[in-house]
Amino acid sequence: QVQLVESGGGLVQPGGSLRLSCAASGSILSINDMGWYRQAPGKQRELVASITSDGSTNYADSAKGRFTISRDNAKNTVYLQMGSLKPEDTAVYYCNAAIRRDGYRVHLIYWGQGTQVTVSS
């Protein structure tokens, strides 16, 4: 079994920073792409940023210049450093990862349970 566990969400004032973490655990052989998505109330889930196994990154326009995605392959962990936060960044943030489990031939997509980020004064 595979689990993704996020941490680091919370309440922050506009202009502040937060660092989200997501650790994958279980019978993992390899992890390809990892990413962060978010879903605000009444809106669809959207990509925030993604990172390949060799470190290539992709950002939503709303995240460029403010957020940085990184990963520690030895720890099966992906991070999202968020800065210059705005009220419109308020959402539940989810991580996902393409993981190949022991005994499987292909990578499957797994999701974390989500962590709330609230930007408010």
For 59-95, write each residue's pLDDT tens digit: 999 999 999 999 999 999 999 999 999 999 999 999 9
Terminal-to-terminal C-alpha distance of the chain: 40
What is residue 84's DSSP assignment? S
Which residues make beta-bridge pairs with 65?
none
Rg (Cα) of the chain, in Å, rounded? 14
In this prediction, residues 98-121 reach a mean pLDDT of: 95
